[in-house]
Amino acid sequence: MANGFASNGSSTACPFGKCDGGGWILGDDDLAHVCECRAPRLAKAKASGINSVIPRRYRGVSFDRPPVTEIDSTVVTAVGDWIDSMEKHLEEGTGLWLMGNTGTGKTTLAMLVSKEALKRGHSVAIYSLPKLLARIRATFDAQVGEESYAEFFERLCDVDLLHIDDLGAEKQTEWVLEQLYALVNERYEREKPIVVTTNLSQEQLEDQIGERTVSRLIEICGEALPLWGEDARQKPRLRGE
């Protein structure tokens, strides 16, 4: 465990064939040097216990083909610029906020961001808000040896990038408001970015999740990138498209 992560079996093999799987290389100077396999291993260990899987529907998304090429080019460019400067944004804790109607491409663009972050070896937690809240609730019934609320909350706060889809798509309760503010505020204080999508306007979102949580989101993400328009899923398509 001296490396900061546990490994055993076939997982100890260095994918680059440069170290013994521990993430360090002993150089000719008798000093230990970091192997390039160490960063993705640490990211994987940090993400253990959280959902970091890109849904099948979004695994093939790309900037150079539909549906991305059919989304508002101004917003697509802004997301592309964020990705181009990803390391800087992750370091400074600046995120992205995509707001608009259903079917306008918000989730697709957010998945592009998460997909690229994972590709670069960063730890990412990906949840729709209803599923995230259900996962949090489940920790209250955790048995001995299972992940506790405190442990899960810590992972959510510490992961490199937190991706929350459908913010506002949950029944408003005091418990929900408390959980959201605690999570968003903690990541704000740790300077950890969030990528968030919502079908609600800023005013509607303030009514749904509270002004102080939205205020923190603005401080993390800046102003929302707007995607208002027709639901692309409802547009008729020619056979073969």
Q: What are phi and psi of 162, to 5 degrees?
A: -105, 120
pLDDT score for 153 = 94
Show pLDDT as tens, one digit a residue, over the chain (241 residues): 233 323 333 345 777 787 776 666 767 765 667 777 766 655 555 555 678 889 999 999 999 999 999 999 999 999 999 999 999 999 999 999 999 999 899 999 999 999 999 999 999 999 999 999 999 998 888 777 778 899 999 999 999 999 999 999 888 899 999 999 999 999 999 999 999 999 999 999 999 999 999 999 999 999 999 998 776 555 554 333 3
The neighbouring-strand residues paired with 32 are: 26
Give the span between the Cα atoms of 72 and 222, in whole angstroms.
19
pLDDT score for 240 = 38
Report angle CA 190, 193, 198 to the nearest 5 degrees. 130
Name the nearest CA neighbour of 129 among 183, 60, 89: 183
pLDDT score for 4 = 31
Task: Give the rounded distance of the alpha carbon of 32 from its chain centre.
Answer: 32
Name the nearest CA neighbour of 111 among 170, 51, 195, 220: 195
Query: Please, are residues 116 and 161 in contact by the beta-carbon 8 Å criterion?
Result: no
Give the span between the Cα atoms of 211 and 215, in whole angstroms.
6
pLDDT score for 42 = 58
Give the span between the Cα atoms of 58 and 197, in whole angstroms.
15
Give the span between the Cα atoms of 219 and 70, in whole angstroms.
29
Give the span between the Cα atoms of 224 and 202, in whole angstroms.
8
pLDDT score for 11 = 42
- CA distances 10 to 5, 14, 26, 130, 241, Å, are 15, 9, 21, 36, 43
Give the span between the Cα atoms of 29 and 165, in whole angstroms.
49
Entry pTM? 0.77
Query: Please, are residues 219 and 188 in contact by the beta-carbon 8 Å criterion?
Result: yes
Q: Residue 112: how many CB atoms within 10 A of its CB?
A: 23
pLDDT score for 238 = 38
pLDDT score for 25 = 78
Q: Which domains does the chain have, with CATH numbers?
A: 9-42 (no CATH), 49-234 (3.40.50.300)
Report angle CA 203, 206, 212 to the nearest 5 degrees. 135
DSSP per-residue codes, 114-165: HHHHHHTT--EEEEEHHHHHHHHHHHTTPPTTSPPHHHHHHHHHHSSEEEEE
